[in-house]
Amino acid sequence: AQTVTQSQPEMSVQEAETVTLSCTYDTSENNYYLFWYKQPPSRQMILVIRQEAYKQQNATENRFSVNFQKAAKSFSLKISDSQLGDTAMYFCAFSQNSGGSNYKLTFGKGTLLTVNP
């Protein structure tokens, strides 16, 4: 079974600074997908960034980038130029094709990020 571990329950950063959230996972599969989701108080899960395991290049989306280390099974999220609106819970998630088109997600417990003015 796959597991996802986020070892930082809470983090804080000053506005405009950079912060890195950690995530490790465990799987015996070779092909899979990794995600970072943001959950603001509205509860809706918002996709921040996605990485396919077969791609060696780290994914980037504007101020968000990942450091994907496949051998180490590590998938950290870097947020540059932090903004007040980045304050939220961040979840790391793992998915593989579980049969047919079943891409169910396994989530970590989350990191509460607070951006301070």
Q: Does 106 sit near another protein (CB under 8 A)?
A: yes
**Is the CB of residue 89 less than 8 Å from the CB of residue 6?**
no
C-alpha 103: how far from chain center: 17
Q: Does 2 sit near another protein (CB under 8 A)?
A: no
* One of 20, 24, 76, 95 touching another protein (CB under 8 A): 95
**Is the CB of residue 5 less than 8 Å from the CB of residue 110?**
no
Under rule CB under 8 A, which residues in 36-55 are in contact with another protein? 42-47, 50
Residue type, 16: A
Footprint of another protein (CB under 8 A): 4, 33, 42-47, 50, 91, 93, 95, 97-110
